[in-house]
C-alpha cells in the first residue's frame, strides 16, 4: 500500500529523517486516505522529543503548542502541521486527559493509546503501513472497534463514546459488539465531559450526510439522556393525526435528513417539534393536536442550546426558525410578506424555506409545497427589487422629521413607523417629497 503524501508533509518527514529521527503520518489522515476521502489534516508523529523537534525545524516558524504532551506546530507557507512525539499516556484522572505522559521510541506503544483501530495506523514511505491492531481489516469490515480494552478506552476519555458514534455516522460503519457494550456501560461518564467538547462532536454528527443515523445510535445506546434528554420523549410518541404517518421522533429524523448541511438548520430541524409531547391534546374525534408547540418549542430549544453552550447568535437564529416553521401564508400580501421577512431576518430566509420543505417531506404523502414556494417567490421578488423593509430603508430620516418642527424622540419614532406602514403597502411612496407630505399629515393629525 502506498499513500500519496502531500509535498509539504513529505518535506517535514524528510527533515526528520535527515536528522536521524523517525516520522510517520498518523491517525485520521491515514484512515481517510485508505477510504478515498480527502484528509482534513495531516498529523505527524515522531520519536524526536519536543526540544529536538524545535531544533530540527529551527528554520521554520514553530509554535510550542503543547510541549508537555509532546506537540509542536510547524508552519510551511502559512499551513500548520502538528508534530507529536511518540508517547504513552499515564493514568486518566478526570475521564478526559492523562495526568502525565511518557515519551517513547516505540511507534506501536504510541498507537496503543489511541481510541479506535481505524485511527491507530501510521505510515511513511520507508516502513509502509504500521497497523498493530488490524485497523485496515476493520476498515474493510466497516467496523468501529476500540483499541484493546474498550471499557478502559472510554474510561480514559468518555468523549471517545461520542467520537465512535460520530465515526459510525460519518463513515456509515457499524460498531463492533464489545465496543458497543462498553459504550453503553460507560455512557454515564459523559456527565463528566464539558458541554463544549460534547457540542463539538455533536455538531460534526449533525453535519454528516446522514445525521439521523447518529441520533438513532445515541438513542439505542441510551446515552441521549446525557446530551438532550428531551429527545427521548419524542421516541414512539404517536401524533394521532391524519397528516402524519410517523411518530414525532421518526418525523423529526426524516426532517433532519432532508435539510442542507448547515448547523443552524440542522439544530432547528432536530428541535423544531421538541415541544410536541408537552403540548399534545386530542379533540372529540380522536385527532391529535399540538397547539402553540412552535412557541413552546422555541423557548425549550433555547434552554437546551444554552445548556450545551451554543453561542447567543446561534440560539437566537434557531429559536426564530422554530417559532416560524409553522407559518403559512396561502395568499401573501406585499405587506404581510415584508413583515415576514423582518420577523425571520434576511440571513434566515433560505434556512426557513429549507426547513419548511423538509418538514413537509416528513409528513404523510402526497406532499404539497405550493404555499411555501409561493411565499419564497414573493420574498425573492421583494429582495431583488430592494424594496424598503424597515425605517432605515425610508428615503427620509429623523432629521427630516425634526425639520418639520418635531423635537421629541418618541414622536419621531411614531411618525417613521407610520410612514413605513404606508411604504410597506405601496413602495412607490418611498421618495422624499411624498414621505415629507405624508409626514406633515401625520403631524397635523397627532396635534
Reading the chain (447 residues) residue by residue, the pLDDT tens digits are 789 999 999 999 999 999 999 999 999 999 999 999 999 999 999 999 999 999 999 999 999 887 778 899 999 988 999 999 999 876 666 655 666 788 999 999 999 999 999 999 999 999 999 999 999 999 999 999 999 999 999 999 999 999 999 999 999 999 999 999 999 999 999 999 999 999 999 999 999 999 999 999 999 999 999 999 999 999 999 999 999 999 999 999 999 999 999 999 999 999 999 999 999 999 999 999 999 999 999 999 999 999 999 999 999 999 999 999 999 988 889 999 999 999 999 999 999 999 999 999 999 999 999 999 999 999 999 999 989 999 999 999 988 888 888 877 788 888 999 999 999 988 899 999 999 999 999 888 877
d(CA 24, CA 16): 10
Report how far residue 379's alpha carbon sits from residue 341's, in angstroms, rounded to the nearest whole number. Answer: 7
Q: Specify whether the CB–CB gap between 31 and 119 falls below 8 A.
A: yes
What is the pTM (predicted TM-score) of this model?
A: 0.91
In the sheet where 61-66 sits, what is the strand order?
Answer: 61-66, 71-76, 79-85, 43-46, 23-26, 122-124, 128-130
Q: Which residues contact 26 (CB under 8 A, 6 or more apart)?
A: 43, 44, 45, 110, 111, 121, 122, 123
The set of cell numbers assigned to 258 is: 432532508
Q: Options 3.30.460.10, 3.40.109.10, 3.30.450.40, 3.40.50.300; which CATH number does 7-141 get?
A: 3.30.460.10
CATH code for the structural domain at 143-227: 1.10.110.30
Distance CA 244, CA 238 (A): 9
Domain boundaries, the chain: 7-141, 143-227, 393-446
Amino acid at each position: 500500500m502506498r499513500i500519496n503524501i502531500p509535498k509539504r508533509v513529505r518535506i517535514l518527514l524528510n527533515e526528520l529523517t535527515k536528522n536521524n529521527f523517525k516520522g510517520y503520518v498518523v491517525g485520521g489522515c491515514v484512515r481517510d486516505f485508505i477510504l478515498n476521502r480527502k484528509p482534513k489534516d495531516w498529523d505527524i508523529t515522531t520519536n524526536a522529543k519536543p526540544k529536538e523537534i524545535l531544533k530540527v525545524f529551527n528554520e521554520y516558524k514553530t509554535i510550542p503548542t503543547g510541549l508537555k504532551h509532546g506537540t509542536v506546530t510547524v508552519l510551511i507557507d502559512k499551513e500548520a502541521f502538528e508534530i507529536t512525539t511518540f508517547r504513552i499516556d499515564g493514568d486518566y484522572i478526570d475521564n478526559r486527559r492523562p495526568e502525565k505522559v511518557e515519551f517513547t521510541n516505540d511507534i506501536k506503544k504510541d498507537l496503543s493509546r489511541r481510541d479506535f483501530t481505524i485511527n491507530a495506523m501510521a505510515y511513511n514511505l520507508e516502513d509502509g503501513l504500521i497497523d498493530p491492531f488490524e485497523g485496515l481489516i476493520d476498515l474493510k469490515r466497516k467496523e468501529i472497534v476500540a483499541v484493546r480494552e474498550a471499557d478502559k478506552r472510554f474510561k480514559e476519555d468518555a468523549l471517545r463514546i461520542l467520537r465512535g458514534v460520530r465515526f459510525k455516522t460519518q463513515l456509515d460503519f457499524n460498531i463492533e459488539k464489545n465496543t458497543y457494550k462498553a459504550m453503553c456501560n460507560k455512557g454515564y461518564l459523559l456527565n463528566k465531559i464539558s458541554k463544549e467538547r460534547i457540542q463539538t462532536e455533536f455538531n460534526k454528527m449533525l453535519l454528516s450526510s446522514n445525521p439521523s443515523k447518529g441520533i438513532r445510535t445515541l438513542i439505542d445506546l441510551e446515552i441521549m439522556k446525557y446530551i438532550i434528554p428531551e429527545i427521548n420523549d419524542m421516541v414512539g410518541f404517536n401524533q394521532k393525526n391524519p397528516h402524519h404517518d410517523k411518530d414525532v421522533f421518526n418525523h423529526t429524523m426524516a426532517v433532519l435528513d432532508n435539510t442542507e448541511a448547515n448547523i443552524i438548520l440542522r439544530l432547528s430541524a432536530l428541535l423544531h417539534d421538541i415541544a410536541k409531547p408537552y403540548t399534545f391534546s386530542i379533540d372529540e374525534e380522536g385527532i391529535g393536536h399540538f397547539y402553540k408547540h412552535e412557541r413552546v418549542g422555541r423557548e425549550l430549544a433555547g434552554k437546551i442550546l444554552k445548556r450545551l453552550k451554543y453561542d447567543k447568535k446561534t440560539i437566537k437564529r434557531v429559536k426564530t426558525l422554530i417559532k416560524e416553521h409553522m407559518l403559512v401564508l396561502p395568499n401573501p400580501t406585499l405587506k404581510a410578506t415584508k413583515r415576514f421577512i423582518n420577523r425571520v431576518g434576511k440571513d434566515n430566509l433560505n434556512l426557513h424555506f429549507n426547513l419548511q420543505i423538509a418538514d413537509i417531506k416528513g409528513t404523510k404523502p402526497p406532499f404539497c409545497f405550493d404555499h411555501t414556494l409561493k411565499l419564497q417567490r414573493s420574498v425573492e421578488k421583494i429582495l431583488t427589487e430592494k424594496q424598503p423593509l424597515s425605517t432605515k430603508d425610508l428615503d427620509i430620516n429623523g432629521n427630516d422629521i425634526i425639520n418639520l418642527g418635531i423635537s421629541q424622540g418618541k414622536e419621531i419614532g411614531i411618525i417613521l413607523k407610520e410612514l413605513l406602514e404606508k411604504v410597506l403597502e405601496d413602495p412607490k411612496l418611498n421618495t422624499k417629497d411624498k414621505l415629507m407630505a405624508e409626514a406633515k399629515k401625520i403631524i397635523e393629525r397627532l396635534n
